[in-house]
């Protein structure tokens, strides 16, 4: 199969039903996307497929063929993306495990609603943070929304 990940093209020889997460982590060696629940509930494995957030732990790789896949590594090589910068500024992570998925969900939200309300954030940010940094996540999203950043996705 041919996959388009972070503006690069890869040929992968895997079972079509293999979860995209394992191709990203184990075949392409992109370790920012995390495994947690394995049942598409927590969101630690969130990536973008054609700009939409997808929980890659339950998304079969064959369904991603020919689509544009963006992982956390694809947002920026140096953490300069506005959402990543807001996460740093607001000290969002505690353990940090879920944060790549949180960031990918936030980028998707901001692409759709550049000035989200608290209700918009609550509706869109369904990823679980075991450390409970939801207020800092909301503050970081509002900070980016108020910054007039010119772009949200790579």
User: Mind listing the pLDDT tens digit for each residue in 73-123?
Assistant: 999 989 999 999 999 999 999 998 999 999 999 999 999 999 999 999 999
Contacts of 109 (CB under 8 A, 6+ apart): 116, 120, 121, 124, 125, 141
pLDDT band, residue 137 (cuts 50/70/90)? very high
Residue at a domain's end among 74, 101, 124: 74
Q: Which of 104, 2, 119 is nearest to 51 (CA)?
A: 104
Segment 57-76, tens digit of pLDDT: 999 999 999 999 999 999 99
Task: Kindly state whether residue 151 falls inside one of the protein's structural domains.
Answer: no
- pTM for the structure as a whole: 0.94
On the 0-12 / 13-18 / 19+ scale of CB atoms within 10 A, 87 is buried
Residue at a domain's end among 20, 53, 74: 74
Residues 88 and 116 in one domain: yes
């Amino acid at each position: 199969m041919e996959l388009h990940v972070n503006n690069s093209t890869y040929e992968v020889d895997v079972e079509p039903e293999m979860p995209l997460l394992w191709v990203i982590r184990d075949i392409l060696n992109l370790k920012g996307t995390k495994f947690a629940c394995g049942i598409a509930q927590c969101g630690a494995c969130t990536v973008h497929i054609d700009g939409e957030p997808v929980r890659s732990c339950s998304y079969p790789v064959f369904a991603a063929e020919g689509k544009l896949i963006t992982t956390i590594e694809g947002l920026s090589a140096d953490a300069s993306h506005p959402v990543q910068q807001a996460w740093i500024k607001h000290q969002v992570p505690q353990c940090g495990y879920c944060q790549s998925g949180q960031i990918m969900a936030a980028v998707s939200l901001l692409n759709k609603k550049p000035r989200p309300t608290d209700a918009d954030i609550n509706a869109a940010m369904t990823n679980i943070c075991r450390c409970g940094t939801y207020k800092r996540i909301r503050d970081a999203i509002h900070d980016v929304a108020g910054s007039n950043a010119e772009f949200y996705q790579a």
